[in-house]
Amino acid sequence: PTSAVSTPRSPVRMLSPSGATSREELERRSASTQRAIDKFNAEIGRLRCLGAQGEYIKLYKSTLRLFERLTQKSEEEMVRRFKKHWAGWMCEVEMLGAQASLILKQWHSMEVFLKNGHIVDRELEGAPGLFEAMLNLHKNEFDAALGNVRDARLGMASACASLLGESYARAYGCLVTAQQLSELEEIIQFKRRLTKLSETMSTDTELLLEDVGLFAPPSLMPAAARASDPDASPELPDQLQRTSDVLVDLK
């Protein structure tokens, strides 16, 4: 019996549904990706111009739209297609979006821009930490806000020192952020003390209102007793009425 001898087959050229070769298909995809990269770069440039001109409403709306387009697909798919470009776009969009949200007091959007973690402090000026501290201050999370200030200082300390060694102009942005962090730290501490004082006053005011009735002369006892009620009848003497109004406002 003769054994069958297999003959090598000639390579088969793969065709796409449209009839183009695989190489042509790759070239078409590469060209399409390059057009998308150019378009996104143009959009990022437009956002920078809006921020430089102070058009924060337009900047806010534009960053929201571009952020939605950049996050429509999964991060893995976007990185596979655009590689390092996607991370750079996200950093720019989230930084500019957080800036516009802060100025317009759109706190929810600001939190969305900051929580993804794509912002990189390329200029070494501590801006991400500054934004996070302001957001935590708005939420009355004082310890977290102070932690953001400390982290931002540590992150920019060495960079600021080296930039100062080059020139004052190079270190100017870093010095401005350092001053902003110092002022923000004072505001955080002040607001924390004010919050604690307000909580203490809410309890102490009730005791003060009771003392008004306790130490009032006998002729004023019925009127003073009504001073602790915010809806009391305005039949109090002028001085006692003013005292009652002040205490109620403090409460």
In a domain, 251, yes or no: no
Higher per-residue pLDDT: 91 or 232:
91
Mean pLDDT calculated for residue range 87-107: 89
In a domain, 105, yes or no: yes
Higher per-residue pLDDT: 213 or 92:
92
In a domain, 51, yes or no: yes
DSSP-derived letter for residue 15 is B
Residue 17 — pLDDT band, cuts 50, 70, 90? low
Query: What total of structural domains would you count in the chain?
Result: 1
Integer Cα distance of 81 and 95 in angstroms: 23
Using the structure block, give the residue that is written with the tokens 């500054």: 130
Q: What is the pLDDT of residue 241?
A: 54
Q: What is the pLDDT of residue 15?
A: 47
Q: What is the pLDDT of residue 234?
A: 47
In a domain, 210, yes or no: no
Q: Is the pTM of this model over 0.85?
A: no
Name which of 138, 125, 115, 129 is nearest 188 in CA terms.
138
Taking only the tens place, the pLDDT of each residue in 213-222 is: 544 444 444 4
Strand partners, 15: 21
List, in sequence order, every beta strand (DSSP E) within 105-190: none
At 73, which CATH number? 1.25.40.10
Neighbours of 37 (CB within 10 A): 16
In a domain, 209, yes or no: no
Task: Tell me the three state secondary structure of residue 21.
Answer: strand
Any idea what the Cα angle at residue 37 is, between residues 65 and 88, rounded to 5°? 70
Higher per-residue pLDDT: 203 or 117:
117
Tokens at 86, concatenated: 């996607």
Integer Cα distance of 58 and 78 in angstroms: 26
- 8 pLDDT higher than 70: no
Query: What is the phi-psi region of residue 126: left when phi exceeds 0, alpha when psi lies from -120 to 50, beta otherwise?
Result: left
- 229 pLDDT higher than 70: no
- Give percent of the chain with pLDDT exceeding 70: 68
In a domain, 164, yes or no: yes
- 90 pLDDT higher than 60: yes
Task: Return the exposure string of 205-220: e unless at least 16 CB atoms fall within 10 Å of the residue's CB, then b.
Answer: beebbeebbeebeeee
Residue 185 — pLDDT band, cuts 50, 70, 90? very high
Mean pLDDT calculated for residue range 182-188: 92
Integer Cα distance of 189 and 146 in angstroms: 9
Integer Cα distance of 28 and 5 in angstroms: 41
- 62 pLDDT higher than 90: yes
Which range of residues forms the domain containing residue 178? 22-196
In a domain, 10, yes or no: no
